[in-house]
Amino acid sequence: MDDKETIARSPCLGDCMPNEEGICLSCYLSNAENDSWNQLSNEERLVIVENTRQRQKAKAEGRSMTEIGKHRD
């Protein structure tokens, strides 16, 4: 199935733990991404889901998460 057929689901787990940069350490959504989720197209949501994956990977590797998806905030 390609991305155009994939329906993006919010990665929010309802267990918010935002860090000082406003990125949740539970689901890796930024505050702005979480706040705008319901107004976004499926394509925009898929980009955000990928942002959360990249942030989770960056955190696991000890890298900064703050610049990932920054243009969306």
- Going by C-beta distance under 8 Å and a sequence separation of 6 or more, which residues neighbour residue 34? 10, 12, 24
Q: 68 in a domain, yes or no?
A: no
Whether residue 72 is contained in a domain is answered as: no
> Tell me, what's the pLDDT at 73?
43
| pLDDT single digits (tens) 15-58 | 999 999 999 999 999 999 999 999 999 999 999 999 999 999 99
Report if residue 39 sits inside a domain: yes
Whole-number pLDDT of residue 2: 55
* pLDDT the model gives residue 5: 75
C-alpha of 51 from chain center: 5
Torsion of CA 17, 13, 37, 73, to 10 degrees: 30
* pLDDT for res 43: 96
pTM: 0.84
Number of domains present in the structure of the chain: 1
- Residue 6 belongs to domain spanning: 1-62
